[in-house]
Structure 1
């Protein structure tokens, strides 16, 4: 007998899916903000900091990039209580996802910083630009332009990867779907709905990232356009 699709029981519990999607956005948003902050500190520390700091950041990056996120999540949620630190499922999920994203974003941001030649920075200072102008126009914007596709792709993976938090019963979309499935026994219909919601969230965020990219990288004249134009030429001459 062919399987008869029936979405009615699942749709009757649609508010739970909506609440789960909202919780996923909140959880992912908090983890992304924390992870990017870790990535910025790690990238700067690894490129500009003392050797010991660079090595410490390198160990952190390798540990978190070479172990599964699920294992990291379990270690934080089940391991920390052994040393007297008890976290809620959501707090543990945010910390684990943030640390995981921080390791990847450290390397992505470091690649962007290292892509800017030192001679180009020195040229900007030699031409009379302030350090703030050098950081903004010679370092940050060009570096961000280089890494923006990889960085936004990693943020999208972080949003999707938040579903793994359901393994410790964190309140997010996949966990909500599991509860609905156990109530309705409509597994296929439930997870088809969840897949559609994840696709909608992913494409929405990709559109937002595209709009942010247009705003960040739109062509506009800086305060000293002649200096910016001369930086590349001077740096090439000194290379």
Structure 2
């Protein structure tokens, strides 16, 4: 309903009779009449806005659906100790399988200008990583680097590293090793610092302070 028009409008409630809003507002009083005016005017305005944005919304929904599908497919499985020893060929075969499902996610991030977090969880290292590096900071770093190398191969650099561990000592060691390895490789990517499952209250604050504070200290 636009200014200058008679604001009287009709609305059908479910399968019932049509209600004439103007007449109903007159019967209920001036305040209710003003509410109905806003409802009809802004309802029409919102409808026009949504119609104009339809294609963009549809594209966004398609992107989100594709991203969700890729994210759940890319996860490197937690160690199940089904295979304790890996040959070089076994290791390379798994890397190739990971790349096949990871590449579509990277391409979508590039297309839509989205960033990505490459995180390694100390408690969820894969059989492949465990067989070569064990449950160690070195394994955490190598796991993250496997995905980072694929990103770099596709000329995608909009990502951040995260080393997740509930033990602050392991977390600090992993980040320091990560930075050292990036320096050797000539890489320069941001870090997301945090202690996983730090807990609540005083215990959580202490673990976070130990882990994050140690890393934020300026070296002499």
Q: What TM-score results when the alignment is normalised by the length of structure 2?
A: 0.26
Of Structure 1 and Structure 2, which has the larger fraction of its residues in strand? 2
Greater gyration radius? 2
Task: Give the structure, 1 or 2, with the largest relative contact order (CA under 8 Å, sep 6 or more).
Answer: 1
Q: What TM-score results when the alignment is normalised by the length of structure 1?
A: 0.24
